[in-house]
Amino acid sequence: MRNAVVGKIFLILLIAGFGYGYYYLDSNLMIERDKPTIKIAQKLYWNLKDSLEVEIEDEGGIRFIKASIFEENGKETTLTQEIFRESKKTFNLKIVPPKVGFFPRSGKARLQIEVVDNSLWNLLQGNRAISKTLIYIDTVKPQIKPLVNSYSVTKGGVGFVIFGVKDKRLKKLYIETNYGKKFYPVKFYKKGYFASLVAWPIDKKEFKATIVAIDKANNTTRERVRFYIKNRKYRESTITLNSKFLAGKIKDLAMQYKKDFEVHNEIQNFAFVNEELRETDEKRIHKKSLKRGELFIKEFNIKSFYPLKNGAAVASFGDHRYYKFNNKIISESYHLGLDLASIKNADIKTSNDGTVVYAGKSGIYGKSLIINHGLGVHSLYSHCNEFLVELDEKVKAGQVIAKSGKTGLALGDHLHFGILVQGIEVRPAEWMDKAWIRKNITSIINGAKYMIDNGKDNF
């Protein structure tokens, strides 16, 4: 009887001890049962130049990693294998390409990654995770063939290029500029051809444009667009401010938009309106004019813009203005549109079909409309008194879209007319000139189509 009692007590203590040990180990993740996580796609493209990076995680710690590549005949090549003396919870596995000469005939292989964690689960063997990824081997760069482009680009103006690209696994395509802006082309006419406008901002001294094509394996080709670069000098002027102006429009705008407005600090209020508020407004306008419109075109029959009947130019695009008060320069800005004036509350017309992408109130620009005409071209109409169209409305050439006014930072009734290409403000004069459009847009499209249809593209 006594032995039986002792045996029961021993069994209870043994179970309790095992339970405590199990709880202790499990709470310290020594016998956790979750498999390691391998973050990798099920399908990859590899150029056999760049390393593949795979993120691996395990809460209890990683003990062993092996990466192998299998050809379709079953041949295995070990790419990397590592045992960790000190376990790691996260590890960025960098898989270096195999030795020179590895290239399966099918162009396909299977990447297998095996990971074992530091757990005591599974009879001290740990939890094991295996990922299998289909790898497409692609070492061929995309081909780029420029077909035709406008002869020149003027500072503050626009260039146009049409080109072909060959790569069945094309991933990214854009035109990169020396100032960091990327212009995204649209598909043109037939498969494999693209068209894009590019812009040279007025505040950039130099201009370069390079077509960049990147495939899914990150093979990259760059091709320079050979524009003739024309510099252009824009007007500089000094404007003397008076107290009446500062106490009028400037005070009103500063009161409305400046958080720390001080009624008697006229200089700071002007600097805020002319610099900070202007920058905020321009960023909004740029953002609303980024879209290209249709992503495939066969034609681009844009007509010269004539938004205000009998409108006289009262301020030019590109004016670099310095503002003086009490014989001291206190601020500066660029005028990035063309100011036109005719009669009070005049009809404003759009000269081309398009879609209204913005209809709202903007600080210094007042009530403004932006219309997308396709190929990244947007027209801007500011200081309006009223709108006659709505956001997202389709408009037709010749349609009256608004009435001129003096909203925003405008002293008299006029229209601030602008043209933007994928968010960059450019010279309206080019787009108001029939000859320029015919030479730089229409003839480029016709020339490219002729080359494609007659096999003269050598592509």
Strand order in the sheet with 296-297: 143-149, 158-166, 193-199, 186-188, 296-297
pLDDT of residue 99: 76
Residue type, 197: L
| Domain at 236-428, CATH homologous superfamily | Glucose Permease (Domain IIA) (2.70.70.10)
pLDDT of residue 15: 47
State the maximum Cα–Cα separation within the chain, in Å, rounded to a whole number: 119
pLDDT of residue 188: 97
Domain boundaries, the chain: 27-137, 143-232, 236-428
Secondary-structure class of domain 27-137 per CATH: mainly beta
Q: How far is CA 363 from the centre of its chain?
A: 25
Please give the helix or strand (H or E) that residue 372 lies within, else none: strand 366-374
pLDDT of residue 12: 52
pLDDT of residue 32: 80
Are 127 and 36 in contact by the 8 Å Cβ rule? The answer is yes
Tokens coding 263: 């009624």
Question: Do 27-137 and 143-232 show the same overall fold?
Answer: yes
Whole-Å CA distances, 240 to 245, 276, 279, 400: 10, 20, 22, 36
Shortest CA distance to 266 belongs to which of 248, 290, 285?
248
The Cα 386–Cα 117 span in angstroms is 68
Shortest CA distance to 118 belongs to which of 64, 81, 73?
64
CATH of domain 143-232: 2.60.40.10
Please give the helix or strand (H or E) that residue 27 lies within, else none: helix 2-27
Q: Strand 186-188 and strand 152-154: pairing?
A: unpaired
The Cα 341–Cα 362 span in angstroms is 20
The Cα 404–Cα 400 span in angstroms is 11
How many CA atoms lie within 13 Å of 335's alpha carbon, on the beta-carbon side? 24
* Tens of each residue's pLDDT in the chain, 459 residues: 555 554 555 455 444 444 444 444 444 456 788 899 999 998 999 999 999 999 999 988 999 999 999 988 888 889 999 999 888 899 999 999 887 667 777 789 999 999 999 888 877 788 999 999 999 999 999 999 999 999 999 999 999 999 999 999 999 999 999 999 999 999 999 999 999 999 999 999 999 999 999 999 999 999 999 999 999 999 999 999 999 999 999 999 999 999 888 877 899 999 999 999 999 999 999 999 999 999 999 999 999 999 999 999 999 999 999 999 999 999 999 999 999 999 999 999 999 999 999 999 989 999 999 999 999 999 999 999 999 999 999 999 999 999 999 999 998 999 999 999 999 999 999 999 999 999 999 999 999 999 999 987 777
Q: Report H helices in 246-404.
A: 251-257, 266-271, 278-288
- Nearest-5° Cα angle at 101, 96 to 102: 55
The Cα 274–Cα 134 span in angstroms is 57
- 328-331 contacts, C-beta under 8 A, 24 or more apart: 329/238, 330/241, 330/267, 330/270, 330/271, 331/270, 331/271, 331/274, 331/275
For 134, other C-beta atoms within 10 Å of its C-beta total 13
**Residue positions counted in the chain:** 459
48: left (phi over 0), alpha (psi -120 to 50) or beta: left
